[in-house]
A and B are shown apart, each in its own frame.
Chain A
């Protein structure tokens, strides 16, 4: 059962060709990592999946909705497809617990007490139960990102998109965030992760995609094999640059 399907997708910003002939199917429960040099279109690809960017041409089916269709209600897609951002994007004017409960209350129209109980369970899972009443400004980067993951999970989404979730973190914070992501992956969540964490890609990913210049150049289910013997020359160059410095 596919969760996300790209069919001949093209994306332009004015004259800039950001995504070129993307064909990609991601199944439910799959954990896909996307790697590649900066400016290769990884984030753009990810952001098209929940409609933060619209595609110019082609067909994009997410959770059985056609995103290229003008009448598709993007809010309905986003309700089912969570997103975790590089810079967290927690609501600065809301406490941690309110950050998590706002979506379920306003979008899913659920009861406050019930949602707060679940939010505390999620905070417990990410190791931040005692931070519930703080504002985001009082948290470290790693804590913020774990709250952002809890916020996303509170909507009980079908899939979560991660846009370089550890790139803005201090090195000692990265492990905690990756641990939480691994836990979610084990629970069977469909995950698409744009990342520079090659260890995570190897350990947790079911599949790896290498992008450069707006194209998917390699798409491998044998993740360890990809790191040992990338086929595409640009992937070879990219991998060697990462591991030989």
Chain B
């Protein structure tokens, strides 16, 4: 097992790097896109709510692989050329954003109605009340489930292997095919995923303790 790691160290580290890069990009953008759709889902305007709900329901009910293949196959054919890494990262972002939208929406809705009414009753606009009072409270509530989504995101980034995204899983597949040592290779790959996700788990727990109890 050790020689799989030492013989292919450069390749594995390159894969780990692409996985990390893809995860970080998808994390930032899925948080932004997800929050926007969460706010749309609870908007006072009905047509905005309908758009938000439709997006979330469609995206979260399609397999990640199908969404990613869509960006890998359909987008280059009709729109513009994209490589595997880009297609995979976009697919991952879109897919995760639907789950983040649901998580953030639930957080906002769990903040007592009175908080919004209290803020509106002194003349704050809906947007001001949301930004100053409701949203900051919702974020604290949402940290633990959001942590789950981020860990899922890192693991789901293995989708890049299907679209030649040069990630950890992709490199693992190549090493396994070359060495015929499937067992050891995927064991190493699994451990390397843990190297990424375990610190995240700890970080989320730390934030949870620090913010949620504050």
Q: Do A and B come from one complex?
A: yes
A residues bordering B, Cβ < 8 Å? 50, 52, 74-76, 78-79, 82-83, 85, 87-94, 102-103, 106-107, 148, 151-152, 155
Query: Is the beta-carbon distance between A89 and B123 smaller than 8 angstroms?
Result: no
Residues of B within 8 A of A79 (CB): 122-123
Q: Whole-angstrom distance from the CB of B4 to the nearest CB of chain A? A: 51
Q: Is B181 engaged at the interface, CB distance under 8 Å to the other chain?
A: no
Closest A-B pairs by Cβ, 6 of them? A89-B118, A103-B122, A79-B123, A89-B114, A83-B121, A107-B123
Residues of B within 8 A of A155 (CB): 122-123
Partner of B120, one of A52, A87, A94, A151: A52
B residues bordering A, Cβ < 8 Å? 112, 114-115, 117-125, 128, 132-133, 136-137
Query: Is the beta-carbon distance between A93 and B133 smaller than 8 angstroms?
Result: yes
Query: Is the beta-carbon distance between A106 and B124 smaller than 8 angstroms?
Result: yes
Q: Whole-angstrom distance from the CB of A75 to the nearest CB of chain B? A: 5
Residues of A within 8 A of B122 (CB): 78-79, 82, 102-103, 107, 151-152, 155
Residues of A within 8 A of B118 (CB): 85, 88-91, 148
Q: Whole-angstrom distance from the CB of B213 to the nearest CB of chain A? A: 11
A103 to B122, CA, bound (A): 6
Q: Whole-angstrom distance from the CB of A65 to the nearest CB of chain B? A: 13
A235 to B28, CA, bound (A): 62
Write 27 A-B pairs (CB below 8 A) sorted by A numbering. A75-B123, A75-B125, A78-B120, A78-B121, A78-B122, A79-B123, A82-B121, A82-B122, A85-B118, A89-B117, A89-B118, A89-B121, A90-B118, A91-B115, A91-B119, A91-B132, A92-B137, A93-B133, A93-B136, A93-B137, A94-B132, A94-B133, A102-B122, A106-B128, A107-B123, A148-B118, A152-B122
Q: Whole-angstrom distance from the CB of A102 to the nearest CB of chain B? A: 7
Q: Whole-angstrom distance from the CB of A79 to the nearest CB of chain B? A: 4
A82 to B112, CA, bound (A): 20
A151 to B124, CA, bound (A): 13
* Beyond known contacts A75-B124, A89-B114: 18 more, CB 8 A cutoff: A50-B121, A52-B120, A52-B121, A75-B120, A75-B123, A75-B125, A78-B122, A87-B114, A88-B114, A89-B121, A93-B136, A93-B137, A102-B122, A103-B123, A106-B132, A107-B122, A148-B118, A151-B122
A75 to B132, CA, bound (A): 16
A102 to B124, CA, bound (A): 9
Name which residue of chain B comes closest to A91, CB basis.
Answer: B133
